[in-house]
Chains A and B, each alone.
Chain A
Amino acid sequence: MSEDATPHGATVHAGPDSTDTPALAVSNLVKRFGTSTAVDRLDLTMPGGTVLALLGPNGAGKTTTVEICEGFQRPDGGRVRVLGLDPNRDGAALRPRIGVMPQGGGAYPGVRAGEMLRLVAACAAHPLDPDWLLDVLGLRDALRTPYKRLSGGQQQRLSLACAVVGRPELVFLDEPTAGLDPQARRLVWELVDALRTDGVGVLLTTHLMDEAETLADQVVIIDHGSLVAAGTPAELTGESGGRQRLAFRASSGLPIAELLDRLPAGCTGTEPAPGRYELVGPIGPAEVSAVTAWCAEHDVLAQELRVAYRSLEDVFLDLTGRELR
């Protein structure tokens, strides 16, 4: 029913209704467990056919948020609409339209990979070919292996296959690359890219900044259940007011206060570890030259000198703190 002939042929970004109903509209979402608040007045909006990465430290409320959107948990407050539907009230209508990859996967312990994917495919009206999907995800050798004997990475890939086999409009991937080797991670990235190209919306959670930076149209950083920053990766990492970071190595204990006097006001400098120096501020060619000249005066060689924009990881750590918790 839902697959009419694509009007634009094979053009890229043939996203269905990407403008009218947002794939996801969450406002003022609250979820409590006992006395602790897992999600605290969270707002999210995601247009159809785009990729949103939900970032946050462990326990930030990412999985809770995703599970509320999937209809597995009931919110204590706020409004959630997924493809225009209430996941709790309209779950039966919503589930055929979404694909879910739960954290840690999910299958019968004794089921073979092929059997599991075929079972999930049988639940959909126009599924992808399960054998092709297993093949392309590198699970051909595992077709007859019971789920509990698959490696963690194989279980992850099977779970990903289960999420997309039903040709959904929107896919929820909870830490899709956790425990994957670099090759498999690339494969997942390619898949997510292909999903977006074909107009499928993807909400993913991750700890990996490069993953979010590479894949996401929109990054949302949450901590303690609340939104702390949102925007495109470029917006989040781009320095407002032209602030860059200059880092170099040299002998330890150099008097950087003296160096800061020669740099424009607004530059800050630290020695976060012995012999490692970091300057943050409006850094241009003149400033780099000033730094190397100052090093020459002290007869030290500035090694590994580089000027960089803040990475998403820096943004993330600045916003959520650097301490382990």
Chain B
Amino acid sequence: MTEHVQPRFAVGTFTPAPGRGRLGRMLLAQTATETKLALRNGEQLLLTLIIPLALLVGLTELPIIDVGTPRVDWVTPRVIALAIMSTGFTSQAISLGFDRRYGVLKRLAATALPRWLLVAGRVLSGVLVIVVQLIVLGAVAALLGWSPQLAGVGESIALLVLGALAFGALGVLLGGSVRAEIVLAVANAVWFVLLLAGGIAVPASSLPAGLADVVGLLPSGALANGLTDALAAGTAPGPGPYLVLAFWTVLPAAVATRTTRLT
């Protein structure tokens, strides 16, 4: 280390010139930072892109679970539901848990950055990551021969938005309230359980009878079923999935506003 340099702070260097930065610039800076961090983090990429890609290819090519045909048309909506859960819930909760541990929320809350902008930057960065996921997964699915029902695209976008909100609210609820290690363990465990038994990888029709009834009431099952109905079958999923996802948005969000801590 060559730190014996005599730093010269010229008189006037620190003359106060306080003031808040421009809102657009702050939002851009924060969104860009959070997005870069999400796309640079190996463990998060594993959850948000690599595992969904592996499942997309694996479940399409290997007839281990009975889905409809063509297989890719049934697998893709479920993998998209998984990608939303990975970003909105697991990845969000873990990063929030460790961001709190490392004091970044307090650090940023002490700047001129308004609190709503802190939240907006996080939401926007989540949206950007989801867009990247949809592009990558959609392109690979297309290579595998995916042909979604175009009539269902409108509904599936509505379901995606609501699903991202529901998982995001659950992610903030978990990541904002307990210690980082507990967040890490719970977020991964819930992700794994919902993937296998929550109506994502295994359709409700292939699950044991008791579980099949419950799955539609979980955010994972509601999103996966809704997307499959809209994109694979081309049928309207009805109000069911929307109501379930709305419930899983409002309740955790209401609790999270009381439990979320900066550190």
* A interface list, Cβ under 8 A from B: 1-3, 6, 10, 12, 14, 16, 70, 72, 92, 95-98, 100, 102, 104-111, 115-116, 118-120, 122-128, 136-138, 141, 147-148, 159, 162, 164, 166-169, 183-184, 187, 190-191, 194-195, 197-200
Contact = CB atoms under 8 A, between A and B. Distances in A.
A12 B14 CA distance: 12
B18 to A, nearest CB: 4
B104 A126 contact: no
A102 B18 contact: no
Given A169-B18, A198-B12, A147 B26 contact: no
Nearest to B4: A183
A122 B25 contact: yes
Contacts of A97: 16, 18
A254 to B, nearest CB: 46
A219 B18 CA distance: 26
A3 B15 CA distance: 8
A3 to B, nearest CB: 4
18 contacts: A2-B16, A72-B262, A95-B112, A102-B106, A119-B108, A123-B21, A124-B112, A125-B17, A125-B20, A136-B7, A164-B14, A166-B18, A169-B16, A191-B7, A194-B11, A198-B14, A198-B16, A199-B15
A14 B17 CA distance: 13
B30 interface: yes
A166 B99 CA distance: 22
B181 to A, nearest CB: 13
Nearest to A133: B13
A118 B107 contact: no
Contacts of B19: 1-2, 96, 124-126
Interface residues of B, number: 45
B15 A123 contact: no
A10 B12 CA distance: 7
Q: Which 7 pairs from chain A and chain B are nearest by CB? A: A125-B19, A106-B107, A106-B103, A194-B9, A122-B29, A100-B110, A96-B112
A207 B107 CA distance: 23
The majority secondary structure among interface residues of chain B is: loop
Contacts of B29: 118-119, 122-123
Interface stretch (B35-43, B157-165, B169-177, B227-235): B35-43
Given A106-B102, A109-B99, A123-B113, A2 B107 contact: no
B9 A190 contact: yes
Contact of B17 (A2, A72, A109, A118): A2
B259 interface: no
B16 A107 contact: no
Given A109-B102, A190-B9, 17 more contacts: A1-B19, A2-B17, A2-B18, A14-B15, A106-B108, A107-B104, A108-B33, A111-B104, A115-B33, A136-B9, A138-B1, A138-B3, A141-B1, A169-B18, A184-B3, A194-B9, A195-B14
B252 interface: no
Interface string B92-129: 00000011011111111111111000000000000000
A197 B3 CA distance: 23
Contacts of B18: 2, 96-98, 124-126, 166-169
A166 B14 CA distance: 9
Nearest to B29: A122
A184 B20 CA distance: 30
A122 B16 contact: no
A78 to B, nearest CB: 22
A194 B17 contact: no
